[in-house]
Every structure is written in structure tokens, then in C-alpha cells.
Amino acid sequence: MSNTIVKTDFNFKNQISVYKGKVRDVYKLKNNLLVMVASDRLSAFDVVMPKGIPFKGQILNQIATKMMNDTKDIVPNWLIGTPDPNIAIGHSCKPFKVEMVIRGYLSGHAAREYSKGNRLLCGIKMPEGMIENDKFPTPIITPATKAEFGEHDEDISKDDILNRKIVSKDDYEKLESYTYKLFERGSQIANNRGLILVDTKYEFGKTIEGEIVLIDEIHTPDSSRYFYADGYEERQKTNQPQRQLSKEFVRQWLIKNDFQGLKGQMIPNMTDTYIKDISERYIELYENITGDKFLKANTSNINQRIELNVQDFLSKYE
């Protein structure tokens, strides 16, 4: 099996601080620059699995980069460059403490809530008479509070966000507008690939100049759910599971093995064979989402490779 990057301990030139997230580690430098490392960690139900997935970080980083470039005409973003397969470097921003989750279909968390009889999600009423994976009449935004490492994100309504002053009214309306526009563009890109963008999440921040920009990842299999368009209608009519391109297959495997991130539950053991299968599924996701052939990076010494590539890139900013 290929080497993976699960933990990072870099000390880049002009480094000020480091934040370790569930999947990404963010190194803050002087000159308002951030170095974001897309690790090979796998998070499900807001819990980080013990073993890394080969090439997962590269896949997420390269999809996010492509999608950032494909949407920068409608929403500004934080990205400056990607000098390494696992690295993105961009402008330092102050993140908003909410994730803008948008759903075009009754799937995943929304479907699980619906099956419990709940029809209100983040203050949004879901129609009666739907079955799992049905399309909503119009996409719905169901925000979540941004959790710290190891904690669960929580559903929150727009009213609660505004009442608790987590985001100002003017800023939230911009986030809403950007979210709808990004989802529309993402859906168009997916449609061109024979896919359906089912749901996704976007994260935003403010630059030191006060501009709202898109940050983190976008339209990746970790932040989004995709269906194959071919056969979607027939599978819905016959109440069959949809063919998915997302990490939902990992969540389903965990559920079958009695794990949903709840207190007292043990993470089931992932064998090397299953980890290899997950890696291959992520490569499939990459090639279907981007339309490009995936080229595996040299993983013989990932840390050294990253250090050299970042050092070379940052030398241009000294």
C-alpha cells in the first residue's frame, strides 16, 4: 500500500500558527498567507478514522482546485496556487462560523431525519409524500454550525444564526446568494459529466480587506454527494438505491458495523483490503467528477516532497 499523510508537523518559513482540522491542517504564515495541507485522513459522522486512505488528500485538493477555478467568475475565492498535489496556498481569511449546506434532493442526513417523521430541517419545511433521493421542488439551504476538531457539526436555522448574531443579516444574504449560484454552477458541471449534484456544503470567510470569499474545499466527494444521472428516474420509480459518487458508501459501511459516531460506539476495524477499496473508489470519484485521468503522485517521501514544493513557492513571496 502507498504511504499516507495522516499527521503533519511542518515548520514553514514565516510560520505563525497551525490549526489541525478533521481532514485539513492549516498553517498560517506572515503576509496573510495560509498553507492548507489536504491529509489522507478520513472523517465520517464527524469522527476521524484511525487509518489514512492512499491518495485521498491529493484527490480532494485537486478536485477543489479545479472547482475553485471553474467558479471564480461568480464567487471570489481564497486560492493563490497549488504547488504540491496535497497543498493549497491562499489568502488568510476569518472564517464564518457556519457551513452553508445546500440540498437538491432528500438524501443523507435529510433523509434520515425525514424517516424519523421530522419535516422541519433547519427551519425549512420539507414536503410530505417524498421518498429517499427524491428531488426537492427547489434546493434548500440547511446551515450547520462549524464544529471544532472531534466535535459534531450541528444543524441551525437562519433565524437562529441571525438572532445569535453569528453572522450579520447583510453578510448572511450574500452567503445565501453565493450558495445558490455555486450550487447552480456545480449542478451544471455535474450534468456535463453525466452526474447529479445531490447536496453539498460551502464555507466562506472574510479577507483582511473585508471581502467575502469562498474557502476550504468545493464540490469534492467529502463535501458533496453525487448520483449517476443515467438510470436515476428508473431507480426512484422502483424504489432502488441510487448509484452514488460520495463517501456515503463509507457511512453505510460504518452503520452496518454499528457505528454512527455516537457516544460509547467503537470504530470498526478497516482492513487493508477495505482501505484499498476506499482509495480506488476515491479515484473513481475523481475521474468521474473531473473527467480527467487521475495521476498518482510520488508518495515515497510525502513530507519531504511537500516541504520542498512549498519552500519553492513561498520564495516568490519573500
pLDDT digits (tens, 9 = 90+) for 154-200: 899 999 999 999 999 999 999 999 999 999 999 999 999 999 999 99
What was the pLDDT predicted at 285?
Answer: 87
> What are the residues facing 203 on neighbouring strands?
215
Mean pLDDT confidence for 232-260: 90
Q: Is the dihedral of CA 135, 139, 140, 143 positive or negative?
A: positive
Integer Cα distance of 140 and 126 in angstroms:
9
Q: pLDDT (tens digit, 9 = 90+) per residue, 52-65? A: 999 999 999 999 99
Integer Cα distance of 162 and 122 in angstroms:
13
What was the pLDDT predicted at 280?
Answer: 93
Task: Assess contact for 224 and 200: CB atoms under 8 A.
Answer: yes
Mean pLDDT confidence for 30-59: 93
Confidence of residue 151 (pLDDT cuts 50, 70, 90): low
Average pLDDT, the chain: 93
Integer Cα distance of 213 and 225 in angstroms:
23
DSSP class of 202: E
Q: List, in order of start, the domains of the chain with CATH numbers.
A: 15-93+275-317 (3.30.200.20), 95-245 (3.30.470.20)
Confidence of residue 147 (pLDDT cuts 50, 70, 90): low
Q: Is the dihedral of CA 45, 48, 96, 220 positive or negative?
A: negative
Which residue has 420539507 as its cell numbers? 126
Express as a percent the part of the chain with pLDDT over 70. 97
Task: Assess contact for 198 and 109: CB atoms under 8 A.
Answer: no
Question: What would you measure as the largest C-alpha separation in the chain, in angstroms?
Answer: 61
Mean pLDDT confidence for 37-65: 93
Integer Cα distance of 49 and 277 in angstroms:
15
DSSP class of 307: H
Give the SS3 label for residue 225: strand
Specify the amino acid at residue 300: S
C-alpha cell at 55: 491518495
State residue 24 phi and psi, 5-degree precision.
Answer: -110, 145
Which residue has 453565493 as its cell numbers? 178
Q: How far is CA 217 from the centre of its chain?
A: 5
Integer Cα distance of 17 and 57 in angstroms:
21
